[in-house]
Structure 1
Amino acid sequence: MAHFQVLVHRAVEVPAHVGLGDPVVGVDVGVKADALLVVATPDGRELERVPAPKSLTAAQGRLRALQRRHARQVGPYDPSTKTTRQPSKRWVRQQRRIGRTHAHAAAVRRHVLHKATTALAQRHRVIVVETLNASGMRSAGGARKKGLNLALADAALAQIRRMLGYKTCWYGSVLVEAGRFFPSSKLCSWCGRRKPNLTLADRTYVGEHCGVTVDRDRNAAINLARLGETQCTGGTGTGTGSSPAATDSGGDGRGATQESATTRVVNAAGCEASTRHDDTVGQTGTVSSEGEAA
């Protein structure tokens, strides 16, 4: 039987309204303006769609103007003599303006992410997210991927999982991290078949065998929720999804259970800096695939 490592911490004061929402939800993250986070349940209901703040994109006009002016001022490097020099006071002031603009964009983004992740950790007992290689997604492509790389940086996808890591510890919920190669977007949430030729430009998932049409992000969130439900109930699923009977691919018709890649169940990230509490004592334990915490 597979085991998963869990960090167990001292209990903290938990608000009374924690866990009053759906017990298991899947969270699909993206870079679209209207779908930074899409939250869905195993039975196919979409609970919430959090729009992306796009704060860095909104600040691009001001940043371009500041940086053009900044380039014409006397900086700390002299390209003619290839030596360092004392920068001008106007160069220093312009540098501070650019820094404040970036800090404002980051603060707006952080505010939206904090509100969304806190609501998730408080309302639901099990939250399933993808394990994304955020830095690798921006590592290649050059000018051809300039717009996508900017959108990925503006969305700060890695921060979402990091915030959920320590907030699930605060509020007593469980974070399930799907494997990096789990095909949440390519699996059909209706029949469970995999669609190998799904491209990033396809924003609507159309089932090749069952003919179902569903939003791509919602389909992925449903598959993630069903994966978490399977991990926390020992593979017996408690949702009431209307998926048909098992297909010839060998599953039970529940899309996300067809290819359950390595999944990590974590209860917290105790090493994260936080202000919620400072008496977290890490005690390493194990939890079985039925989801019972140590």
Structure 2
Amino acid sequence: MRDKKFKSKKHGLGGFRLTGAIHIFDRAIQLPRLGRLRLKERGYLPVEGVQILSATVSERAGGWFVSVQVEREIPDPKATYKPVVGVDLGILALATISDGTRIENPHALKRDLGKIKRLQRVVSWRKKGSANREKAVRQLVRAHLRVANVRKDALHQITSRLATLAPAASAGGTKSAVVLEDLNVSGMVKNHHLAQAIVDVGFYEFRRQMDYKGQWYGCQVILADQFYPSSKRCSQCGHIQATLDMGTRVYICELCGLMIDRDLNAALNLEQLTTGSSPESYACLRQYRRYRCRESVSPGYQAVLVEAGTEQQSTCE
């Protein structure tokens, strides 16, 4: 016979799910067995045109949160004929859009890392099982929760802006397609000098949000091939530089003399990959494939466009 394991107040309650008669009001929510509870945040739970299925109550860092599962019919998005934009993700700037818009990176972890380290030392100094240790643990958990919330808020704002609104203030309407790079995040974090900064950005979460928000609002999310030289290629003449250091923030073309921000140049190349606005775009891709095969660094890959969620295939000429 298995021993019963009772819940402990020391380790938190986690969360629980409720079904039945659930009613949502402007400033409160009524749950089964709990009654009517006031909400600190108002106006974010769906009320009209939805069928409420269940509610999940969870506890994080001493705060209680409720999420509601609803069923709602979403009409098919209307076809749009707005221009395509390329988006280059980075560490210094969270996203650089091909129309010149630059979204700054909040650096959520870097900004509060000193505070987190100090709170972690306080926890290690306190005696295990004491009330002071529990108090220090709660402060540490709240600091980690703040970092996660700042990062999540920044990602939701930029992904919603790309999927629903035009990046430029002069333009209007939903973008018909957003071109992103298929980043190898697992390989990027092997660089121990940049691993913490890369993880702090949240590249995978950015792509995940763009996938489902694009389906909601009719914005097609396209992934460029992982080996497409968006940073090394000149967005004006199509020339590809052999090497480009990570510290070089201004791209200077050796052929035409173009001087442009490195991230903006990459975003423009991603946009041209779909629109074909540059006559040298396809020629430079063939040149890059031959270069990779000739150098035998790794197999040459064709820079192809892959819709998010589909299987990607790469070929060598």
Q: Considering the TM-score relative to the shorter chain, is it more than 0.5?
A: yes
Please state how far the C-alpha of 1:12 moved relative to its aligned partner: 2.6
Counterpart position of 2:26:
none
Q: 2:105 aligns with which of 44, 49, 52?
A: 52
Cα contact 2:239–2:284 (8 A) shared by 1: no
Please state how far the C-alpha of 1:116 moved relative to its aligned partner: 0.9
Within-5 A mapping of 1:133-152: 133-141=184-192, 145=193, 148-152=194-198
Counterpart position of 2:168:
none
Residue 37 (structure 1) aligned with residue 95 (structure 2)? yes
Please state how far the C-alpha of 1:140 moved relative to its aligned partner: 4.1
Secondary structure of the residue aligned to 2:213 is helix
CA 1:14–1:37 in structure 2 vs 1: closer, same or farther (change >3 Å)? farther
Residue 132 (structure 1) aligned with residue 183 (structure 2)? yes
Please state how far the C-alpha of 1:93 moved relative to its aligned partner: 2.7
Residue 164 (structure 1) aligned with residue 213 (structure 2)? no
CA 1:250–1:182 in structure 2 vs 1: closer, same or farther (change >3 Å)? closer
Question: Unaligned 5+ residue runs, structure 2?
Answer: 1-71, 165-173, 292-300, 312-317
Cα contact 2:86–2:268 (8 A) shared by 1: yes
Secondary structure of the residue aligned to 2:204 is helix
Identity of aligned residues (%): 35
Structure 1-normalised TM-score?
0.66
Tell me how many residue pairs correspond in the alignment: 219
Q: Which amino acid aligns with 2:90?
A: G
Counterpart position of 1:234:
none
Residue 12 (structure 1) aligned with residue 74 (structure 2)? yes
2:269 and 2:73 map into 1 onto residues whose CA distance is: 31
Per-residue CA distance 1:215-251 (angstroms, 9 max, x = gap): 000000001111122xxxxxxx3x4xxx5x649x945
Per-residue CA distance 1:65-111 (angstroms, 9 max, x = gap): 20111121234xxxxxxxxxxx3333233222212111111111111
* 4+ residue runs over 4 A deviation: none
Please state how far the C-alpha of 1:19 moved relative to its aligned partner: 4.9
Cα contact 1:204–1:213 (8 A) shared by 2: yes
Counterpart position of 2:87:
27
Query: Which protein shows a greater Rg?
Result: 2
CA 1:191–1:153 in structure 2 vs 1: closer, same or farther (change >3 Å)? same
1:68 and 1:173 map into 2 onto residues whose CA distance is: 47
CA 1:226–1:260 in structure 2 vs 1: closer, same or farther (change >3 Å)? farther
2:236 and 2:304 map into 1 onto residues whose CA distance is: 22
Please state how far the C-alpha of 1:261 moved relative to its aligned partner: 1.6
Within-5 A mapping of 1:1-294: 12-13=74-75, 19=80, 22-32=82-92, 35-40=93-98, 45-46=99-100, 48-75=101-128, 87-122=129-164, 123-141=174-192, 145=193, 148-229=194-275, 237=276, 239=277, 246=280, 250-251=283-284, 260-266=302-308
RMSD: 3.1
Secondary structure of the residue aligned to 2:91 is strand
Cα contact 2:240–2:284 (8 A) shared by 1: no
Question: Unaligned 5+ residue runs, structure 1?
Answer: 1-9, 76-86, 230-236, 270-283, 286-294
1:15 and 1:162 map into 2 onto residues whose CA distance is: 19
CA 1:65–1:127 in structure 2 vs 1: closer, same or farther (change >3 Å)? same
1:109 and 1:215 map into 2 onto residues whose CA distance is: 25
Secondary structure of the residue aligned to 2:214 is helix
2:249 and 2:148 map into 1 onto residues whose CA distance is: 27
Structure 2-normalised TM-score?
0.62
Q: Which has the higher contact order (CA 8 A, sep 6+)?
A: 1
